[in-house]
Structure 1
Amino acid sequence: MLKLISFNPNPQRSPSTNLREFIAFCRDKLTLWSNVDGFAWEDNAWPDSHRNAKVRFTNLENSKLHKTVLPTNEQLVHPAFRDVAKAYLRYRHSTRPHHNMPRELQALRALERALVEEMDVPDITKIRQRHFDRACQLVETYSARQNIAITLQQILALLSEKLITPAEVVRWNHPYDGKNSYDKKRGSRAPDEVKAAKVANQDSFFSIADVFAKPLSQLDDSDILVTSMTALFLSAPMRIGESLRWRTDFLRSDLDSEGNPQSYLAYYVPKTRSYTRKAVPTTMRDVAEIAAERLIEITNEGRKLALYMETEPLRFYRHSNCPDVSDDQVLTRDQVAQALGFAHRKACEDFIRSHTGSYSQTGFTLNSLWQIVLAEHRKQNPFFPYQEKPSAEIKPLKMSESLMCFRRLQLGARASTSPVLLASFNPDFYRKRLDGAIKLDRKNQRPLCFFTKHGYDPNPLNSHALRHFVNRLAKQHGVPIEQITEWSTRATVRQTPTYLHETAEQRRIKAVVIADPEKVQRTLDPVTEAEAAAYGHGPFHRSRYGICRRSWRLGPCNKFADCTNCSELVACKGDKIALAAVKTDRDNMTGTYEAAMRAVEAGERSASLWMDKARPQISRLMDFVTMLENPNIPDGTPIQLLGTDFSHEKIMVEEKAKENGVELLDRAKLGSEYGEELLDMLDLLLVD
C-alpha cells in the first residue's frame, strides 16, 4: 500500500517557521534514498538515483567543477540555501519521481545566485519576482534555458503552496514564451541562420572519411570507434544514447516490397519505448557493414570478459597474456603487472595502492589479485551485468550482448588496455573526441581531439548534428515528412520540422511549385569543354551547346546533329571555325559509336540503335570535312549539302500531302529503322 506523502504548512505561522518545519520534515520524515549507498543529508553530493553519478551542491560559477575536485565552501551554494535545495529535491522526488535532478539543481543554483547578489544570507522567504527574472538572465546563454525557467516555476509553485514564499510572487511568469520561446529562437520556427548553425560541418565528414579509408593497421581502437559510429549515424537518424541498445547483429538484411535486398538497423529505442527497424540507404549499405564489423572486432574481447564475469567466477580470468602459473603460486612483481594488464610494474603501483594502501607488489597470487579485480569491477560497473541502470519497464542489454562493450582504458592514448576490467560505455567516449574542446592548462590543449590527432582542422562535430543532416538530406530528396518522422523514431510529426532547416528561398520555391509549376525556372551555368570531357563517351549526345543525357535503352535523339542533314545548310570553304566545329562533331560521334560498340559487347543490345544512328552521321561528317579541306576547291566557295530533311520544297510537299490526306514516309525515320541501304535503293529507283 502506497504511503501518502504530504507536508501541510500552518497558515498561522510565519514563512520562516514553515520553511524550518518543511526542511525538518524532508530531512527526518522522508525516507527516499535512505537505502542508497553513499547517501547522507549532510553530504555536499547526493547520488542521482537515475544515473551512475552524483549531483553536487556547487554554486552556479562552479557548476562544471570536475568531479575529481573536492569543492571548497566558497564553491558550494550558501549553507542557508543548501538545506532549502535539499528539502525541495527530496520532497519533489518523493511525491513525483523523475529524471531531471541535474536541471533542477541548475535552477536552484541560479536562484541562489540571484539572492546572494542582493543579500549576504540568501533568504528564500524574502524572494521577489525580480529574483526569478535575474535567475533567468543568469541562464540566458544555456541551451536548456527554457526548461530551466519552467523548473523555476515549479520550484516557485511548491514553495508557494507550502506558504514559504510571498503570495504575490506566485504570479511570476518566465520570459521564454511567445517570441522568446525555444520554438521561435532555436526550434522549428527559428531564423534560418540559427538552423544553419546546427548543420554539421561537412569538412569534418571528409576528415573522418579519410581516416575511415586508411588501412586498419594505421588505426587504433579510438579511431575505429569515432569513424565507425559516424558512419552508422550517417546510415540512419539515431540518437547517441541509443548506441547502448545496439546488439552485435543489429545491422540486418531483408527483402523489400519489390524483392530487392534492403539493409536495416534493428534495436530498441528507449525514448519511444519501442523496437525499430531503420532502413539504411543503398549508398551507405557497404559502409555500414564495414563499420559494424570493425566495432564487433574491437569489442569481442570485452564481451568474452563480460560473459566470464556473469558466472561470478572464483578464479582469475585467463587472458592471452596472463602468466602461465597456478592460481596459488606467488607472483613476481613483473607477473603482477602482466596479470593486471599493465605495461610494466611501475604503472600498476597506484592501482595496487588504491586497494591495499601500499605500493608493494610482492606476495600476490592470481587468487589474491582476483579479489582486487572483483572489488574494482563492482566499483566501476555498479549495474553489472548491464551497462546502465535497469528499470522496471524493460531491462537494458547485458554487457556480454552489447556491441559497445569495451574494456577499461581501451580507448586511451597512452595507457594499455586492461584485460580483466570492463568499462561501461559512455557516449562521451565519442562526443569528447569530436567537440574540439580546448584545455588551456595543458601542454596538449586538445588531448582527445580526433581531428588534430590526424592533422586536420578541429571542426567541432555534434552527434545530434548528424541526425539533423540525415533528416535534411531525406527531405531534400523527396522523402515525406511522415516517413522521416517514423525513420527518426519521433513521437510526433510536429517535432520533425526542427531538423529540416529549410531556407526562406527553398520555402519560396516550394510555394511557387504548388501555385504554378511553370514559374519555377532555374538558370544553369553553361557546360565548358573541360566539364563535357569529364563525362567521357556513353549514352548521351555532346555538342557545342552542352550535353543531352539519355540511356542506351531510350535510344538516340532523332534530331541530334541534323544540321548536316539539312538542305538549307550552306558552308563556306576556308571557314576555320566551321571546320573545327564539324571535326568536333565527328570526334564526338565517333566516341559515341565506340562506346555503343563496347556496350553491345557487354550485353546491352539496345545500344545497337546508337550504332545505327551514329554510323551514317560519322560518314556524312567525314565527307563534309573532306570537302572543307579539299585543296582543289577555292576558299570562299559556298558549299551546300544535299540534305535528307528540312528543305523548303519538302515542307511545301508535306503541306500539300496533308491537305490531300496523303501520308509521306519520313526519310530519316526509314534510315534509322531500316538502314541506309534502303534509302540508297529508293534513290536508285528515283534515278531510273
Structure 2
Amino acid sequence: MNGILRFQSRENLTAKQNLKAFLSHAREVCLFQKIDWPEHIWDISDTIESKRLRNGSFAYFRSARDPLDQPSVIADPMKEPFCSFAKAAFSEIVRIKRPVEYRRFIYALQAIEQALIDLNKQTCITQVTDDVLNESADILKKRFQDPWHAGRTLEWIIREIINPAGVTPWPLLWRSPFPYLAPTRNDRVYASLRTQKLPEVQTILDLADIHQRSLDVRDRITTSFVSLAMFAPSRVSEILSLPVDCITRAQHDQTVLMGLRWKPVKGGSPITKFAPSTSFAEVASEAIHFLIKTGEKARQAAAWYEKNPDKLYLPDGFEYLRECDSITLWEFSRVIGKATPPEASHAFRRYGLERVGQTPQKLRFPVSDKANWAGLYSFKSAENWVLGQLPESFPIMRKESGITWSNALFVLPKNILRPDGETLDYIPEPTSISQITHQLGANPGGKTVFSRHGKVDADGQPRKISTHQFRHLLNTLAQSKYLNQSLIAFWSGRKNINQNAWYEHLPQEAFIEAYRKLNNQVPALPVAGPLKKKASSLASKNAITYDDALRSELGAIHVTRFGICRHDYALTPCPRDKDCINCGEHLFVKGEQRHLDEARVQLELHEKAVGQAHKAVEQSIGGAQRWLALNEPKLARWKQAVTLLTDPDTPNGTLISMPAPASSQTRTGLAHKMAQTKEHIAVEEID
C-alpha cells in the first residue's frame, strides 16, 4: 500500500540486534487493537473481516506439530524466540499487504520453524539459511497438494520482511521451487468435475417440493435462500447481504419488470438483475416477503440498538421495566422473545441473571403459574447479557457494502435455524454461511432440509447440495444457450470475463454444435489430423473460408462410446457399426478423460487378443491368421490414438481425427479399391 513505511535494517548492526529492533518496531506500529501480544491466539477482526460474520477473524500461532485442530485451543505453540518473530512478521504483513487469505502466511512461518527443529538448529530467525528454506519447502510440499501458493508466500516473506529487516546474517536469495500448474476447471475435459459442480435435477425438484409443502420455518428460510440463489447466479455472501428493500421495478414498453439489486463481492459493479419470467418474479418476491416478515421483530430490535447501543430493547407493553431495577424470568422471556421462561436453576449459567429477591405481583409472572411469588433478577444483568450478544462490529454487517443489521434481509431471530435452541425473536442474528450449508446437507450428524422430509439419493442417503452449485447451474444454462461471454460475466457479477471459464460445464460436443450453428459468434475450434487437411483442401477448391469448410465437414455431431462421430445418418447408415477406430469420420477430443480412458481399455484388450492370436498362429490353429490380419491393424490404430491423446504439445480441447485405414471393409470401399487396382493394371499394360 502507498504511504506505508517498512522497517529497514542497519548494516552496521548484527542480525540479533536488527531482530530486537524489528520486534520493537512491529509492536509500535501494530494495527490490531484487541490483541494481547504474549497470547498465541489473536483476535484480528478489527482489521480483517471474517466471511462468517459472527465468528470473527483469528490468527493462531500454533506449531506444525500441534496435534489439536480446535480453534480455541493451542496445545503446542511455536517455540521462542521464533514465535515472537512470527508475531511481529505477521503484524507487518497485515499492515503492509492487508491480505484476505492471511492464514497462508502463518503456514509459511510454521514451515520455517519446523525446518529449524528438523535440522537441529536454534528456533530463531537468525539461524535461517537456504538449507532451512529448502527444508521448509519440503514441509510445504508434504502439507499441500499444490504447494505453489505456499511457496510464493514463503518467497514473499523472505523478500519483503526478512531481507529488509536484516534479521539473518546475510540476505537470502532463495526462490520457490514449485512450478505453477494452471488449474483445469473446464468440465469439457474432466467429466467427473461436471458431476461434482452441477446439482442433480432431482435435488432441485425436491427443494421445490419442500418449499411448496413444508410449514417448518427452518425449511422455509432455507428454500427461500434457494429461491434467491436460483433467481440469478450469485455468491452465497451476496445473497446473505441483500438489503430488505432489494426489490426494484422498471418499466419496459407496456410491461413492469421486477428485479433485485445486488452488490458483487469480487470487484463487479453494482447491478440490478431482472427476473427472466413472471414465475421467477413471483417466487423471488414471495421468498423476500417471507424473510422480511420472519425477521421483522429482530430487525426492529436491531434498529433500536443502532440508536441506543447501551440500552435494552423493550417490546410494546414492557416499557415500564425501564424504571425498574429488577425483572422476572417471565418478563425476561418476553423481552428477548422467548416462548417459555428459562428455568430458575439455569438463569445465571445460561443468561448471567443475578438473583436479587422476589415479588408477589401477579402481573409480573403468568396467571397460569400457581406460585404466589416470582423470583426477581437484576435488570442490569439482563441488559448486559442481551447487549453482549451483539458483536463489536455492530451495527455494520458488511464493511464492503456498509449494510446495517436493521436493513439486512437475512438478519433473523437468534436460534431460528437451530434445532436444539428456542428462538429469541428480539435478539437479531445474521444468518451465516455455515447455517445455510448445514441445512442444505453439510451437517453430517444433524437434521437437514432433506432429512426432515425423507429426500434421499440412489444410495438411500439424505440428499445434499452446496450453495455454490446453484451458481454453477445457472452459468451452465447460460453457456448452453451460447450467450455472449460479457453478458454472462455481467449477469454473474464478475469483473473479468476470463472467470467464466471456471463455470463451463458443457461437454465438447455442445461447443462443436455452437461452432456449427453460430458462425463467428464463438471461437474457432482447434483441429489436428486429416480433418484439418481435408477442410483446408475443401476451402481452396471451393473458394470458401476454412471455417465454412470445417463446419460442413463436422456434419451432425453425436456422442459414441469411443468419442464423437461426425457421420450424417440422414445420408447413409453407419458403414462401420462399432468399428469407430477404423473410421475416418470418428473424432477424439484431447483432454477428454473418457475418450482417453476408453482408448486405453481398447488398447489393452487388443494387445492381449493379438498376443493370443500370435500363439494360435504358431500352433497352426485354423482361422488364426485371418483373425490376426484383421485385428493387428486395429491394435496399431489404438496405439496411435493413445499417443495422440497424450501428446503434451497438443492443447486440450483439440479435435483429433484419425487417417482413413489402408483397406476398407465396406462394400463401397472395396469397390473403390478394386477400381483403383484395375486402373493401375491398365496403366502398367499401356506402359
The TM-score normalised by the length of structure 1 is 0.63
2-structure distance, mates of 1:205, 1:261: 28
Are the equivalent residues in 1 in contact too, given 2:397–2:403 (CA < 8 A)? yes
Q: In structure 2, how many angstroms separate the alpha carbons of the residues matched to 1:296 and 1:60?
A: 46
Equivalent residue for 2:156, pick from 145, 151, 154: 154
1:2-55 Cα distance to aligned partner (Å, 9 max, x none)? 98633222345554443343223323x32422xx2x322111121222223322
Change (3 A) 1:107 1:267: same
Distance in 2 (CA, whole Å) between partners of 1:57 and 1:477 is: 50
The change in CA–CA distance for 1:188 and 1:521 in structure 2 (over 3 A counts) is closer
CA RMSD, aligned part only? 3.7
Instruction: Give identity over the alignment, percent.
Output: 18
Q: What amino acid maps onto 2:491 in structure 1?
A: W
Which residue is equivalent to 2:261?
266
Q: Determine the C-alpha separation between the residues in 2 that align with 1:208 and 1:423.
A: 25
- Report whether the alignment pairs 1:275 with 2:270: yes
Q: Which residue of 1 aligns with 2:84?
A: 83
Question: Among 405, 409, 419, which residue is 2:411 paired with?
Answer: 405
Quick one: distance in 2 between partners of 1:361 and 1:342? Answer: 22
For 2:397 and 2:551, how far apart are their aligned partners in 1? 54
Alignment match of 1:306 (pick from 299, 302, 314) = 302
In 2, the alpha carbon distance for the partners of 1:64 and 1:253 equals 53
The CA distance in 2 between the partners of 1:227 and 1:327, in whole Å, is 43
User: Aligned partners of 1:3 and 1:131: how far apart in 2?
Assistant: 35
Q: Which residue of 2 aligns with 1:415?
A: 421
1:481 Cα deviation (Å)? 1.0
Q: Distance in 2 between matches of 1:471 and 1:452?
A: 28
In the alignment, what sits opposite 2:579? none
Between structure 1 and structure 2, the one with the greater Rg is 1
| Change in CA separation of 1:356 and 1:511 when aligned onto 2, cut-off 3 Å | closer
Match of 1:250 among 232, 246, 251: 246
Distance 2:68 2:477 in 1: 36
In 1, Cα distance between the equivalents of 2:433 and 2:505? Answer: 26
Name the CA distance, whole Å, in 1 between partners of 2:430 and 2:295. Answer: 12
Question: Cα gap change, 1:313/1:63 in structure 2, threshold over 3 Å: closer, same or farther?
Answer: same
Is the CA contact 2:186–2:504 (under 8 Å) kept in the aligned structure 1? Answer: no
Task: Spell out the pairing of 1:174-185 with structure 2 (5 A cutoff).
Answer: 174-177=177-180, 180-181=181-182, 183-184=183-184
CA drift at 1:285: 2.6
Any stretches of 5+ residues in structure 2 without a counterpart? 50-55, 360-373, 456-460, 520-546, 561-687
2:507 to 503, 506, 522: 503
Cα separation, partners in 2 of 1:524 and 1:302, compared to 1, 3 Å: same
Q: Give 1:543-582 correspondences, 5 Å limit.
A: none
Equivalent pair of 2:353/2:377 in contact (CA under 8 Å): no
Q: 1:280 to 1:3 in 2, by over 3 A?
A: closer
Question: Does structure 2 conserve the Cα–Cα contact (< 8 Å) formed by 1:253 and 1:264?
Answer: yes
What is the alpha-carbon distance in structure 1 between the residues aligned to residue 344 and residue 476 of structure 2? 49
Q: Which amino acid aligns with 2:440?
A: L
> What is the match of residue 108 of structure 2?
107
CA shift digits 1:607-662 (9 cap, x unpaired): xxxxxxxxxxxxxxxxxxxxxxxxxxxxxxxxxxxxxxxxxxxxxxxxxxxxxxxx
Q: TM-score, normalised by structure 2?
A: 0.64
Tell me by how many angstroms 1:209 deviates.
1.9
SS of 2:263's partner is strand
Residues 492 and 484 from structure 1, CA distance in 2 versus in 1: closer, same or farther, beyond 3 angstroms?
Answer: same
Contact 1:316/1:366, CA 8 A, preserved across alignment: no
Query: Distance in 2 between the 1:13 and 1:115 partners?
Result: 23
Change (3 A) 1:9 1:335: same
Question: In the TM superposition, what is the alpha-carbon distance from 1:229 to its structure 2 partner?
Answer: 0.9
1:475 aligns with 2:479: yes
Higher relative CO (Cα under 8 Å, sequence separation at least 6) belongs to: 2
1:369 and 2:371 correspond? no
- Partners of 1:430 and 1:192 lie apart in 2 by 28
The one-letter code sitting in structure 2 at the alignment partner of 1:107 is A
Partner of 1:163: 166
Superposed displacement of residue 471, structure 1: 0.7
Q: Return the match for 1:288 from 256, 281, 284.
A: 284
Aligned residue identity for 1:156 = I
Residue type matched to 1:108 in 2?
L
Is 1:172 matched with 2:175?
A: yes
Q: Does 504-513 or 48-57 show the bigger shift?
A: 504-513
**8 Å CA contact retained: 2:260, 2:272:** yes
Aligned partner of 1:431 in structure 2 is: 437
Find 1:228's aligned residue among 221, 224, 229: 224
| Equivalent residue number for residue 644 of structure 2 | none
On the 8 A contact 1:328/1:367 being kept in 2, the answer is no
> Aligned pair in 2 of structure 1 residues 113, 350: CA closer, same or farther (>3 Å)?
farther
Task: Report Cα offsets for 1:339-378 as digits up to 9, x if no partner.
Answer: 4444555557556346758577858999953663355425
Matched residues, number: 496
Q: What SS does structure 1 have at the residue aligned with 2:285? A: helix
Which residues in structure 2 correspond to 1:90-129 (within 5 Å)?
90-119=91-120, 122-124=123-125, 125-127=127-129, 128=131, 129=133
Verify the 8 A CA contact 1:160 1:166 in the aligned structure 2.
no
Does 2:446 match 1:447? yes
